[in-house]
Copies of this chain bind each other. A is one copy, B any other.
Amino acid sequence: MTIGIIGLGLIGGSMAIDLRRNKFADHFLGCDNDNLNAMTAQRIGLVDEIVPYEELIKKSDLIILSVPVSAALRMLPDILDKITDDQYVTDVCSTKERLNDSVHYHPKRKNYVASHPMSGTEFSGPWAAIPNLFAGRAGIICNAEDSDIKAVELVRKMYDCLNMRVIYMRAAHHDVHTAYVSHVSHVISFALALTVLDKEKNEKNIFDLASGGFASTARLAKSNADMWAPIFLQNKDNVLSVLDSYMEKLQSFKTALENQDEKQLRALIEEANRIKRILR
């Protein structure tokens, strides 16, 4: 089987590493609109060949679209226009509803599987690709009933091969969930970094004191604008609504602190501690 990966960054590159190692396919084609990314991906062995976009579409049994969500919105209908009945396409985008809607009436809709492997790091580019990035994480397949059963089966096998737990859900539901457990974490982290960087303009040594706690909370603030601005925009309503809830919780903390209400502060912290059940 030949896999064609469009977009040779962290996600596409890391998938290539494990899909090759676990013998899911024997030939990997790649293309990227950034030439340096493309050349690097070939040099470090993520893909066997760099080919033009049209040629990749022609020669691949399964196409993995791993580009920012705004680019995916433009490219997916075009790819579906060009593939034959025996070719399949999947994507790895962090927002699913708009992309899914955009091809809902496409005659080749059945050849597409809307999916999202829930993993990543704060780094980007082919040099950020690592083995085992997906092991144990959730591999989500959305609106599976709109896809050919053979196509769904192929993507399910691909996620098995990456050692992911496959979860099926509606695209709309996916976007609400990811707003909660991923997208808003990024906004929070960006805002923290901005707050401290602002202060640093007057206080040169503030980062001498940065401890592991700060590093952990601000880690996601290293994430890339090309990827994240489109995600926030495509999941705007959910992200705004979760941000509102989040700001209410912050306000509860502020009020308790303003009132020096130790009992309420402790209650809020102890309620938050229930997260231990989830995070090991």
Which residues of A are at the interface with B, using a C-beta cutoff of 8 A?
118-122, 137-138, 140, 165, 167, 174, 176-178, 180-182, 184-199, 203, 205-225, 228-230, 232-233, 236, 239-240, 242-243, 245-247, 249-250, 252-254, 257-258, 260, 262, 265-266, 268-276, 278-279
Contacts and interface: CB of A to CB of B under 8 A. Distances in A.
B138 A253 contact: no
B209 A181 contact: yes
Contacts of A247: 247, 250
B217 A240 contact: no
A165 B239 CA distance: 41
A229 B242 CA distance: 25
Contacts of A230: 262
The quantity of this chain's copies bound in the complex is 2
Given A120-B213, A199-B180, A220-B213, A268 B190 contact: yes
Given A177-B203, A211-B181, A228-B269, A239 B257 contact: yes
B206 A180 contact: yes
Contacts of A245: 195, 198-199
Contacts of A217: 185, 188-189, 216-217, 219-220
A249 B195 CA distance: 7
Nearest to A210: B181
A190 B253 contact: yes
Contact of A220 (B138, B216, B266, B270): B216
B209 A177 contact: yes
A134 B266 CA distance: 27
The 9 closest A-B pairs by CB, nearest first: A191-B249, A225-B269, A193-B275, A190-B272, A185-B217, A193-B272, A181-B210, A225-B266, A229-B265
13 contacts: A122-B213, A165-B208, A187-B250, A191-B246, A191-B253, A192-B249, A210-B278, A216-B220, A217-B220, A218-B275, A229-B269, A240-B254, A243-B253
Contact of A275 (B121, B222, B278): B222
Contacts of A275: 193, 196-197, 218, 221-222
Contacts of A197: 271-272, 274-275
Given A182-B209, A221-B272, A266-B229, A215 B279 contact: yes
B206 A177 contact: yes
Contact of A120 (B121, B184, B211): B211
Contacts of A194: 249, 252, 268, 271-272
Given A193-B273, A197-B275, A199-B245, 16 more contacts: A137-B211, A180-B199, A181-B211, A186-B213, A188-B217, A190-B268, A191-B250, A194-B249, A213-B220, A216-B217, A216-B219, A218-B279, A222-B275, A233-B257, A233-B262, A233-B265
